[in-house]
A = this chain, B = another copy of it.
Amino acid sequence: MLDHCSKPARMTGMAPRTRQSERRRQVLTRERIIETAVELLDAEGEDALTVRALTSRLATGSGAIYWHIGNMSELLEAATDAVVATALDAHPAETAGTPRDDIRAVALGLFDAVTAHPWLAAQLATQFTRNPWGPVTLRIFERIGRPVRALGVPRADWFTTASTLVHYLLGATTQTRQSDDTAPASAADRAAFLDTASSAWQELDPDDYPFIRAIAEQMRDHDDREQFLTGIDLVLTGITTLHPAPAAEPGERLPGPE
C-alpha cells in the first residue's frame, strides 16, 4: 500500500515550486492559506476556521483550497506548526545563557504563544495526542533536547529526560486559561474567573475534596506564568539531582555543543 500522497497535494513542509516565478499576482499558495487560517483563528476563534470562511477571505472556491491542503486537520496542524516555529525562533538557538536559561526561554516562548493565540492550547493538545511525533512535537523536542544535553545529562538518559520536560511543558501550557476563544483575556477577567473558581472550591464536600478546599485560597491569587516557571525549576531540580553536573568526566566530551 502506498500511503504517500496519491493526490497532487504538496508534501508537507516541502515547496516543490521549482522556479516558475509568479505566474500571476496573488497566486493561491499553501503558505497563503495557512497564513489566512492563522489570521482567522486569531481574530474569530477556533470555530471560525471553516472552508467557507477561507474561500470567502481568499476569494476563491473550496476546490482550490483542497488542491493545496488535503484536509482540515492538515491545515490546523500546519497552522499550529507555523505559530510554534515562530515562537521558538523568537529566542534563538544558544544565546550564551546557561542551559537552564535556555530551557526557561523555550518554555516562556511557548507560554507566551499560547497566551497570544487563544486557539493554540487546544491545538497543541490535539496534535500531541493525535499525532504524537508530528512536526510540532518534533520541533519542540529538538529545541528542548539541546539544552538537556548541555546540562550534562548522560547520553543514555537524553530521551527520557527530554520527554519528561516536554510532557510537563505541554501539560502546563495547554492548561493555561483563556477567558474566551477570541479576546486577549484581560487581567480583570482572569481575577474574576479565579475568584469564582476559588469560591466554588470552598463549597465542595469536605469529605470528597479536602485537598481542593485546602488550596482554594492559594489558587485565588496565583500567577499562571510564575507557577509555570516554578514547575520548570522543579523538574530541572529533579534532573540535576539525578544527574549531577559533570565537573570533568574522563571518557565523555564536555557538555558544550556536540
Contacts and interface: CB of A to CB of B under 8 A. Distances in A.
Interface string A169-199: 1111011110000000000000000000100
B227 A163 contact: yes
A239 interface: yes
A126 B163 CA distance: 21
Contacts of A160: 218, 222, 227, 230-231
Nearest to A257: B210
A86 interface: no
A238 B134 CA distance: 29
Contact of A209 (B121, B138, B211, B238): B138
Interface stretch (A51-59, A64-72, A141-149): A141-149
A141 B218 CA distance: 14
Contacts of A146: 210-211
Contacts of A122: 126, 129-130
A167 B163 contact: no
Give the interface SS of chain A, mostly helix, strand, loop or mixed. helix
B164 A212 contact: no
A219 B162 CA distance: 11
Number of copies: 2
Interface residues of A, number: 59
Nearest to A215: B159
Contact of A164 (B142, B168, B215, B219): B168
29 contacts: A125-B125, A125-B126, A125-B128, A128-B174, A129-B174, A137-B175, A141-B212, A142-B209, A142-B210, A142-B211, A145-B212, A145-B215, A158-B214, A158-B215, A159-B215, A159-B222, A159-B227, A160-B230, A164-B172, A164-B230, A164-B235, A167-B175, A171-B171, A210-B258, A234-B235, A234-B239, A235-B238, A238-B238, A238-B239
